[in-house]
Amino acid sequence: MAARQIVLITGGNIGIGYEVVKALYAAATPYEILMGSRKIENGEQAIEKLKQEVKESSSTVSVVQADVCSDESLDKLVGDIESKQGKLDVLINNAGAGFDGQIRDKKMSIREAFNASWDTNVSGTHVLTTLAMPLLIKSSNPRLLFVTSGTSSLIETELMEGIHGRINAAPDAGWPKSGQLNPLTSYRSTKTGLNMLMKEWDRILRNDAVKVWAISPGFLATGLGGVGSDVLKKMGAQDPSVGGQFIKDVVEGKRDEYQGKIVRSDFFGTPVQPY
């Protein structure tokens, strides 16, 4: 029997990350899933929930401590994988955060929020990817995924249909500007930076066997924006499980023709497309 593919997903205990773990755990293909969580106890609770929701699986799942804002944490994580598994087949850089609401609520300064967003969404991702690359190179079919956002597309900043009408709307003239329902400035900016980071890794690995993507899992009702899933669903957001299934498809080779690009599961119902 073929050995299980070893998959590491950061931020795997909650939101889209949890749904990816769940989709892989329920898949017919056997995986060894490493659920990255900033706190081990949160990951353990997520695994308990997972095993209640998916009664049978050909895969294994375990929690690993993964704080993308801590070099010490990432060094230990990669060292542990090297000593226990010896390689890594799939790295899903999913961990992300938005701090714009902290600016709105005067809990963080603009600089603090932007630095925190960049550190979590881009810098930490780059550090982990760099550290993990020797393990990925050892795989016979290595895959590197960056979870981005549909809000990061420069082209789509000019669209005004549906949800775009909310996130792209211009506020009234004058200063100061009134706060929007869900401010996204630092989050969108860093996810656009993450897209370029993906393209850089695609360039760096062009002569290697590593397949690279950025994945935009669609407009999903997660807790990331701080608005609440019920509000997002009323705005047209889909269940986070849709994103989990889509990312599983990428892991399983169903989007290989788009490697090196940004692909997404579009909530408008249009075909999957690179952008």
Residue 149 catalytic? yes
pLDDT of residue 53: 97
* Catalytic residue flag (residue 187): yes
Active-site residue, from 31, 59, 189, 191: 191
Give just the sign of the alpha carbon dihedral 218, 224, 227, 231.
Answer: positive
Which amino acid appears at position 97 of this protein? A
User: Could you give the count of Cα atoms lying within 13 Å of 222 in the half-sphere of its Cβ?
Assistant: 23
pTM across the whole model = 0.90
Give me the catalytic one of 18, 25, 187, 258: 187
State the pLDDT at residue 222.
66
- Looking at residue 162, its pLDDT comes to 74
What pLDDT shows up at residue 3? 82
Assign 134 a pLDDT band (cuts: 50, 70, 90): very high
Domain holding 182: CATH number?
A: 3.40.50.720
* φ, ψ (nearest 5 deg) of residue 181: -55, -45
The whole-chain average pLDDT of the chain stands at: 88
CB atoms within 10 A of CB 175: 5
Q: What is the pLDDT of residues 140-151, one digit of tens each?
A: 999 999 999 888
> How many distinct structural domains can be found in the chain?
1
Q: Which residue among 59, 149, 186, 189 is the active-site one?
A: 149
CA gap 64, 10 in Å, rounded: 9
How confident is the model at residue 170, as a pLDDT?
A: 84
Distance between CA 93 and CA 74 in Å, rounded?
12
Range of the domain at 160: 5-274
3-state SS assignment for residue 36 = strand
The single residue listed with the structure tokens 């550290």 is 131
